[in-house]
Structure 1
Amino acid sequence: MAAASKSFSGLLVHFIFVVLFVFSPVNAQLKVGFYSKTCPQAEAIVKEVIDGVLSVAPSLAGPLLRMHFHDCFVRGCDGSVLLNSSSHQAEKDAFPNLTLRGYQVIDRVKSALEKACPGVVSCADIVAIVARDVTVASKGLRWEVETGRRDGLVSNSTETFTNLIAPDSNITTIITRFQAKGLSVKDAVVLSGSHTIGTSHCSSFNSRLYNFTGKGINNDSDPTLDSAYTEALKIKCKPGDQNSLVEMDPGSFRTFDTHYYTLVSKRRGLFQSDAALLDNSVTKAYVELQAATKGSTFLKDFGMSMVKMGRVGVLTGTAGEIRKVCSKIN
């Protein structure tokens, strides 16, 4: 009887341990409305700041959306892309991130939230909510953002090169890096549609216009790029041009629409990574469907894929921290 009692006690302790582990704060999950009690006006505050910023600087919509991608693909969606480094070795100092813009907007949002709800809303969640709000402000569809992320404590520039997707990536690299984050081939082609807003520096695609094969022939252009588009781009981007800006979706680069897929289907995607979407049966079929139906499902699909991406590598519960200032750890 004593042995049976001892065995029962042991099982009870084990059960309690399992319950505590499963439901401990560290294992808490993201959810819509995470701040409903601790900072119920959080999303309204973010929207007010973003609408104000975009009313005077609409060109920041693209970079702010891109920031969420660059955050989530390195160490997960933990706000690490926002951190500064005295030795210039943080993610934002790496070459792939040097053209990111809008950090001051995130800081403005954070200041407004700290005034209303000190120490409550994470910088990682701010980046995710801002990505949604700039999409909506650019005439995209709204989706519900899951919140509850906490901020990471590490930001390493070297990690960007093996995680971010370069503009000259082929379809194998694109799919591999998406799948490494738990995202599907469909997510890859859907999220590429974010190129419907924003601009790019000539340096990101100049190799497609000049000396494409590396043989020193100045007019050696990427044969997968529409020839008329190639010539139009050469007018805007001269050899070696690093700084001039070109619209990623000419004619509607400030409107979150489906025109991007029409361009890609006509071999007018700006980057090699855009053209690569025609090199896989799944991604090509999606491009052609959206082009033929004027994006019948894209806007809804985008929100769903953004929610999935927003779950990548998140810190929740008691992991990480809630930064007081987004550019530095507490």
Structure 2
Amino acid sequence: MEIKQKKLWFSLILLSLITTTTLGEFGGPLLKGFYKESCPLAEEIVKHNVEVAVLKDPRMAASLLRLQFHDCFVLGCDASVLLDTHGDMVSEKQATPNVNSLRGFEVIDYIKYLLEDACPLTVSCSDIITMAARDSVFLRGGPWWEVLLGRRDSLKASFAGANQFIPAPNSSLDTLIVNFKQQGLNIQDLIALSGAHTIGKARCVSFKQRIVQPNMEQTFYDDEFKRQSTFRRVLRSQCKDSSRDNELSPLDIKTPAYFDNHYYINLLEGKGLLISDNVLVTEDHEGEIYRKVWEYAVDQDLFFLDFVESMLKMGSINVLTGVEGEIRENCRFVNI
């Protein structure tokens, strides 16, 4: 085990060296150590306060990680998701995938407050999201990686984009592939990034369709229902009527508090919580995705390595750099 861990960390270091910089949408680079001179304690401030937040509320780790996904899939990784409704601009927080669901805004607000005190108008809200997501993964036992920084913040939000581009929990495999392709992410990224569901919880309303008795035409799902009747019965008892739509259930039933590879083991056993989880194996008619799920299920180090690579790739989607956008003073509003 010790040898495997050393191999994993060597691989992550090698990956880190390869991805020292990446170009943003406007040609400016994201860099390691971007705030080394301008705000040397930036990463430490983020790390410490994410740790405090997660100790108070363990679920916050998954919430902060999810925040980066929902930000990057709309307009790019530019903190547009943090903007409140103001004037004619409707907040992405009010979109169907986010409303009464997305969390962690107060944690980001407090970190921003501390960073503004230490280094005024220096550290972007979008970089805070990126650092907080990385630290959340590591605090739950997942891999650590050196994030690339230098993003600037958007001057606008896209309510329509949040409704259009964020994958729904009942998405088909084809829909997921299209969603990710629209962001420049491939099937490999889809499989690896789906592993983020190894931590966190989902509301009953997000997976009720998953536990309803399938109709007789859906023979595959009918057989699966019989095999997983106990798993489904437990979920159905928890979500038995609409009054329990906001009840929470762990996305990973085996080790919900740890960032590990059990999510993929669950998929192979037909125990993924969301429809959008299970379709990775049930709708993969070519077997390509199934083989990768199986590889991650038996090799956690491989999953960690690929997850880091895909997180770095996702974190560079349509970033604003250089003189584009701004460094917000308050993450909820554009500067006056």
* TM band (smaller chain): 0.7 to 0.9
Letter in 2 for 1:302: F
Alignment correspondent of 1:7: none
The change in CA–CA distance for 1:158 and 1:73 in structure 2 (over 3 A counts) is: same
**For the residues of structure 1 that align with 2:71 and 2:231, how far apart are their CA atoms?**
32
Post-superposition offset of 1:296? 3.7
Structure 2 unmatched runs, 5+: 1-22
Alignment size in residue pairs: 302
Letter in 2 for 1:94: A
Post-superposition offset of 1:86? 3.9
Alignment correspondent of 2:15: none
Q: How does 1:131-280 map to 2 (within 5 A)?
A: 131-210=133-212, 224=224, 226-240=228-242, 241-278=244-281, 279-280=283-284
The change in CA–CA distance for 1:223 and 1:273 in structure 2 (over 3 A counts) is: farther
**For the residues of structure 2 that align with 1:103 and 1:118, how far apart are their CA atoms?**
20
| Segment drifting more, 69-78 vs 83-92 | 83-92
**For the residues of structure 2 that align with 1:276 and 1:43, how far apart are their CA atoms?**
37
Structure 1 unmatched runs, 5+: 1-22, 216-220
**For the residues of structure 2 that align with 1:152 and 1:222, how far apart are their CA atoms?**
47
| Segment drifting more, 84-93 vs 266-275 | 84-93
2:324 is the counterpart of 1:319:
yes
**For the residues of structure 2 that align with 1:40 and 1:153, how far apart are their CA atoms?**
26
Is residue 254–residue 262 contact of structure 2 (8 Å, CA) maintained in 1? no
Alignment correspondent of 1:97: 98
Alignment correspondent of 2:300: 295
Q: How does 1:15-164 map to 2 (within 5 A)?
A: 26-86=26-86, 89-98=90-99, 99-164=101-166
Alignment correspondent of 1:282: 288
The change in CA–CA distance for 1:223 and 1:326 in structure 2 (over 3 A counts) is: farther
**For the residues of structure 2 that align with 1:244 and 1:326, how far apart are their CA atoms?**
30
Letter in 1 for 2:133: A
Is residue 153–residue 327 contact of structure 2 (8 Å, CA) maintained in 1? yes
Is residue 32–residue 144 contact of structure 1 (8 Å, CA) maintained in 2? yes
Letter in 2 for 1:248: L
Post-superposition offset of 1:210? 2.8
**For the residues of structure 2 that align with 1:224 and 1:84, how far apart are their CA atoms?**
43
Is residue 186–residue 282 contact of structure 1 (8 Å, CA) maintained in 2? no
The change in CA–CA distance for 1:228 and 1:38 in structure 2 (over 3 A counts) is: same
**For the residues of structure 2 that align with 1:256 and 1:48, how far apart are their CA atoms?**
19
Is residue 195–residue 248 contact of structure 1 (8 Å, CA) maintained in 2? yes
Letter in 1 for 2:211: L
Letter in 1 for 2:108: I
Letter in 2 for 1:246: S
**For the residues of structure 1 that align with 2:155 and 2:224, how far apart are their CA atoms?**
42
**For the residues of structure 1 that align with 2:83 and 2:215, how far apart are their CA atoms?**
38
The change in CA–CA distance for 1:158 and 1:257 in structure 2 (over 3 A counts) is: same
Post-superposition offset of 1:212? 5.1
Structure with the greater alpha carbon radius of gyration: 1
**For the residues of structure 2 that align with 1:271 and 1:174, how far apart are their CA atoms?**
13
Q: Report the TM-score, using the length of structure 2 for normalisation.
A: 0.85
CA-to-aligned-CA distance 1:232-260 (integer Å, 9 cap, x gap): 21121113231100011113111101100
